[in-house]
């Protein structure tokens, strides 16, 4: 993870693209550096909002990802609004995945299942999408399908932490920073 953090910092330094900060926050969170993750996500949120205010709408899904990562009911509602607006523009697997996360964070397991199944039907295969599917299935009460998707995620990305637990693989956070 030290190498991933170094590359994330270098990428942001060179490009000033806030999506590097979003990913850096995720790397830090995975490594257990919660305060470092919150700092990166906070910086990313400020920059993404500024870019969106200046007409760069492509970053709406990244802002939704940051808001969901940071947690809290208000942020979760805003993230869901952003992801729904982005889905109106294009129905890409990444957008569907973030939208499913927003639906889960707002208590809509059935809607999350629909979104994640549409994303999977597109042919995209990623650990993040499998984890989102696992969380949607678990929230809907289907432990067997949840386990199936967790296993797929673990086989897809060997760097993931232990996925044997039944708690959400992609956290739905309480209010943070």
Look at residue 81 in the predicted model and tell me its pLDDT. 97
Phi–psi pair at 158, nearest 5 degrees: -70, -10
What string of DSSP letters covers 138-165?
A: HHTT-HHHHHHHHHHHHHH-TTS----S
Look at residue 26 in the predicted model and tell me its pLDDT. 86
Q: Return the DSSP state at 168.
A: -
The pTM of this model reads 0.84
89-122 pLDDT, tens per residue?
A: 999 999 999 999 999 999 999 999 999 999 999 9
Q: Could you tell me what percentage of the chain is helix, strand and coil, using 3-state DSSP and rounding each to the nearest 5?
A: 75, 0, 25
Q: CA nearest 93: which of 59, 68, 128, 65?
A: 128
User: Looking at per-residue confidence, does 124 or 174 come out higher?
Assistant: 124
Name the burial class of residue 82, with classes exposed (0-12), middle (13-18) and buried (19+) by CB atoms within 10 angstroms of its CB: buried
Look at residue 173 in the predicted model and tell me its pLDDT. 46
Name the burial class of residue 173, with classes exposed (0-12), middle (13-18) and buried (19+) by CB atoms within 10 angstroms of its CB: middle
Q: What is the mean pLDDT of residues 126-139?
A: 95
Q: What is the mean pLDDT of residues 10-18?
A: 78
User: Looking at per-residue confidence, does 160 or 169 come out higher?
Assistant: 160
18-76 pLDDT, tens per residue?
A: 888 888 898 888 889 999 999 999 999 999 999 888 887 668 999 999 999 999 999 99
């Amino acid at each position: 993870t030290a190498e991933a953090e170094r590359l994330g910092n270098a990428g942001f330094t060179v490009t000033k693209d806030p999506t590097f900060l979003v990913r850096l926050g995720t790397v830090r969170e995975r490594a257990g550096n919660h305060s470092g993750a919150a700092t990166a996500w906070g910086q990313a949120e400020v920059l993404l909002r500024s870019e969106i205010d200046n007409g760069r709408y492509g970053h709406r899904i990244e802002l939704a990802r940051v808001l969901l990562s940071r947690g809290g009911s208000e942020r979760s509602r805003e993230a869901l609004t952003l992801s729904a607006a982005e889905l109106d523009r294009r129905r890409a697997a990444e957008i569907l995945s973030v939208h499913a996360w927003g639906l889960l964070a707002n208590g809509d397991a059935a809607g999350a299942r629909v979104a994640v199944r549409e994303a999977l039907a597109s042919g995209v295969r990623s650990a993040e999408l499998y984890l989102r599917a696992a969380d949607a299935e678990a929230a809907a009460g289907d432990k067997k399908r949840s386990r199936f998707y967790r296993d797929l995620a673990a086989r897809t990305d060997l760097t993931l932490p232990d996925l044997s637990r039944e708690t959400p693989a992609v956290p739905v956070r309480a209010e943070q920073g």
